[in-house]
């Protein structure tokens, strides 16, 4: 799994400069509004998807599937990359919002809502990606991204939502995300194993 992640990081650094620039802009805007906080976290998944799309187009995905790397390691690495990168951004945003003056503060409840939304998002899109490939699953990605952005509207764009709403979403979303991932990972692995390269 480490070799897959290392290869994906190398591709990302060479092929994703524009997406990284957009992500930096969204992160900066996320310091001031809740909408861009959640959007930047979900947009970070695009970096991993772009790497997967590049690997599909260049034939590297076929090469990896033929290597002595287990297909389960490839699928697991993609989940780890998506959730790991976005979780790091969530933590960075939280720390910056509570350290730097003049920036909208984030509560711990908002962090839990963001993590839950991320888990739901990844658990929904990954089976489509592993079954259809990245390019053919982009419509699903956009629809799910829009639905998750609606959660940002519920959490509140300026000033946050009432604590009861954040508390409710802080219970429902992480639970749904964990259950979704428990179903999504084996389903994605099943689809990936059946894929012909």
Q: What b/e sequence results for 24-42 when a residue is b if at least 16 CB atoms lie within 10 Å of its CB, and e otherwise?
A: eebbeebbebbbbbbbbbb
pLDDT band at 197 (very low <50, low <70, confident <90, very high): low
**What is the reported pLDDT for 180?**
94
Q: Are 123 and 180 in contact (CB under 8 A)?
A: yes
Domain carrying residue 34:
2-194
**Minimum mean pLDDT range among 27-36, 50-59, 127-136, 183-192:** 27-36
- For the chain, the average pLDDT equals 81
> Is the pLDDT confidence value at 188 over 70?
yes
> Is the pLDDT confidence value at 179 over 80?
yes
Count structural domains, the chain: 1
Distance (Å, whole) CA 47 – CA 178? 22
Distance (Å, whole) CA 40 – CA 82? 13
**What is the reported pLDDT for 87?**
86
pTM of the model: 0.82
Q: Are 106 and 165 in contact (CB under 8 A)?
A: no
User: What pLDDT, in 10s, does the model give residues 58-113?
Assistant: 888 888 877 888 888 889 999 999 999 888 888 887 887 778 776 667 777 778 88
Distance (Å, whole) CA 118 – CA 125? 11
More confident residue, 33 or 157: 33
**What is the reported pLDDT for 122?**
92
**What is the reported pLDDT for 15?**
79
User: What pLDDT, in 10s, does the model give residues 130-168?
Assistant: 999 888 898 888 888 888 777 666 665 445 555 666 677
């Amino acid at each position: 799994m480490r070799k897959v992640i290392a290869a994906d990081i190398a591709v990302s650094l060479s092929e994703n400069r524009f997406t990284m620039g957009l992500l930096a802009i969204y992160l900066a805007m996320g310091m001031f509004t809740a909408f861009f906080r959640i959007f930047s976290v979900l947009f970070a998944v695009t970096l991993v998807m772009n790497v997967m799309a590049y690997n599909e187009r260049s034939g590297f995905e076929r090469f990896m599937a033929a290597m002595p790397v287990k297909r389960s390691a490839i699928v697991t690495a993609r989940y780890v990359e998506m959730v790991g990168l976005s979780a790091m951004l969530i933590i960075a945003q939280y720390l910056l919002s509570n350290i730097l003056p003049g920036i909208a503060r984030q509560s711990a409840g908002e962090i839990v809502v963001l993590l839950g939304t991320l888990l739901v998002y990844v658990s929904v899109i990954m089976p489509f990606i592993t079954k259809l490939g990245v390019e053919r699953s982009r419509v699903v990605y956009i629809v799910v991204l829009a639905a998750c952005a609606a959660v940002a509207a519920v959490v509140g764009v300026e000033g946050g939502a009432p604590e009861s709403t954040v508390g409710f979403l802080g219970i429902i979303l992480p639970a749904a995300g964990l259950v979704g991932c428990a179903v999504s990972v084996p389903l994605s692995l099943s689809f990936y194993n059946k894929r012909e390269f």
